[in-house]
Chains A and B, each alone.
Chain A
Amino acid sequence: MKSHAVILDGSLSANAGADRLLTSVVDQLDAMTWTSEVLPLRDLSMAPCTGCFGCWIVTPGECVIADQGRDVARQIVTSDLTVYLTPIQFGGYSYVLKRAIDRSIPIISPYFRRVGGEVHHTRRYRRYPSIVAFGFRSSEASEEDAIFETLVARNAINMHAPRNAVAVLDPGVEADIDRRVRETLEEVIGR
Chain B
Amino acid sequence: MTATRHVLLLIGSPKGLNAGNSSRLGKAVVEPLEALGWRTESLHLHAAIGSQETLDQLMEAIDSADLIVLSMPLYVDSLPAPVIEALYRVAQHRDGMTSRSKPRFISLVNCGFVDPWQNAGAQRMVQQFCKRANLEWAGSLSLGMGGNTNTSIREAISLIVESAQREQPVPPRVTELTRKRVMPPLLYVLGGNHIWRREARKNGLRRRDLKAQPYKRAT
- A150 / chain B contacts, CB cutoff of 8 Å: 121
User: Could you tell me the dominant secondary structure of chain A's interface residues?
Assistant: mixed
**B78/A48 in contact, CB under 8 A:** no
**Contact yes or no, B213 A124, CB < 8 A:** yes
- The reply to whether the CB of A180 lies closer than 8 angstroms to some CB of chain B is no
Interface: A179 (CB within 8 A): no
Task: Tally A residues with Cβ within 8 Å of B.
Answer: 52
Instruction: Tell me the bound Cα distance from A113 to B186 in angstroms.
Output: 8
Which residues from A are CB-within-8-Å of B211? Answer: 60, 109, 124
A151 shortest CB reach to chain B, Å = 5
Inter-chain contact B84/A93, CB cutoff 8 Å: yes
Known: A95-B81, A98-B84. A90 touches B186 (CB 8 A): no
Contacts of A77 in B (CB 8 A): 215, 217
Q: Which of A48, A89, A109, A159 contacts B14 (CB 8 A)?
A: A48
Q: Does A20 contact B (CB under 8 A)?
A: no
A52 CB, min distance to chain B CBs, angstroms: 8
Q: Contact: A56 with B124, CB < 8 Å?
A: no
| Min CB–CB distance B211 → chain A (angstroms) | 7
Beta-carbon contact of B15 and A51 below 8 Å: yes
Interface secondary structure of B, over-half rule: helix
**Out of B124, B205, B210, which one reaches A91, CB within 8 Å?**
B124
Contact B80 A49 (CB under 8 A): yes
Q: Which residues of A contact B80 (CB under 8 A)?
A: 48-49, 51, 98, 102
Distance in Å: Cβ of B51 to nearest Cβ of chain A: 16
Residues of B within 8 A of A124 (CB): 211-213
Most buried by B among A78, A91, A144: A91
Contact, CB under 8 Å: B128 / A91 = yes
Of the stretches A29-37, A114-122, A162-170, A181-189, the one at the interface is A114-122
Query: Which residues in A have their C-beta under 8 angstroms from that of B79?
Result: 92, 98
* Set of chain B residues within 8 Å of A50, measured between Cβ atoms: 14
Which stretch (B25-33, B55-63, B166-174, B192-200) binds chain A? B192-200
11 inter-chain pairs at a CB distance below 8 angstroms, sorted by A residue, are A48-B81, A51-B15, A51-B20, A60-B211, A90-B91, A95-B81, A107-B215, A114-B186, A124-B212, A127-B217, A147-B125
